[in-house]
């Protein structure tokens, strides 16, 4: 144990932390909005349909005649791209179901990933600013993304997606109030 007295009112301690898996309690992740995964899947499939329709229109349009072998390969390429797109969309759907977060007194933690799980923790005292962002689809379905920016470079920034609009605004206000309390005392 290392303790150093700075003055009569303040002491600094930097104790050893026991790394024991049995004593560590995992953080409880709060899931994002229940309709976030299906919204992500719907947007992805809608975009795929637009790409396929444009591809079909280009392939079979009457203005610029494409030879039969060109049409054959265009159809095969569209089929392959569509298959991969659907597979990635399904993966994205299940990955979106695994997104969660945890807000504690001193930090915010983001949990994400389906195959490769990732846990990102950001101390509240390092947060520079927070933004609530809503795209057109997010506004339509009542969702928002909370962007947390911290001191450091771009890699120190993360996004909590799929929050209910009111929850994102309340979380932002709560974090900013807690940060102000920590800063001023």
| 30-49: pLDDT as tens digits | 999 999 999 999 999 999 99
Closest-CA residue to 183 (of 108, 123, 140): 123
Q: How confident is the model at residue 180 (pLDDT cuts 50, 70, 90)?
A: confident
| 121-159: pLDDT as tens digits | 888 888 888 999 999 999 999 999 999 988 777 666 889
Report pLDDT for 38: 97
How many other β-carbons are positioned within 10 Å of the β-carbon of residue 104? 11
Report pLDDT for 184: 61
pLDDT at 65 over 50: yes
% of the chain residues with pLDDT over 70: 82
Report pLDDT for 6: 47
Annotated domain spans of the chain: 36-96
Q: SS3 sequence, 114-131?
A: CCCCEEEEEEHHHEEEEE
């Amino acid at each position: 144990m290392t303790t150093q007295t700075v003055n009569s009112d303040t002491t600094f301690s930097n104790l050893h932390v026991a790394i024991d898996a049995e004593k560590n309690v995992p953080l409880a992740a709060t899931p994002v909005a229940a309709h976030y995964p299906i919204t992500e899947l719907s947007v992805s499939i809608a975009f795929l349909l637009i790409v396929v329709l444009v591809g079909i229109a280009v392939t079979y349009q009457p203005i610029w005649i494409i030879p039969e072998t060109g049409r054959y390969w265009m159809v095969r390429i569209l089929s392959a791209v569509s298959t991969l797109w659907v597979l990635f969309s399904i993966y994205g759907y299940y990955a979106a179901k695994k997104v969660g977060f945890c807000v504690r007194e001193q930090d915010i933690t983001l949990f994400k990933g389906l195959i490769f799980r990732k846990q990102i923790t950001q101390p509240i005292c390092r947060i520079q600013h927070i933004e609530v962002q809503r795209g057109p689809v997010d506004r339509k379905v009542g969702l928002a993304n909370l962007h947390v920016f911290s001191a450091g470079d771009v890699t120190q920034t993360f996004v909590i997606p799929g929050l209910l609009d009111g929850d994102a605004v309340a979380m932002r206000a709560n974090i900013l109030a807690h940060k102000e309390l920590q800063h001023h005392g």
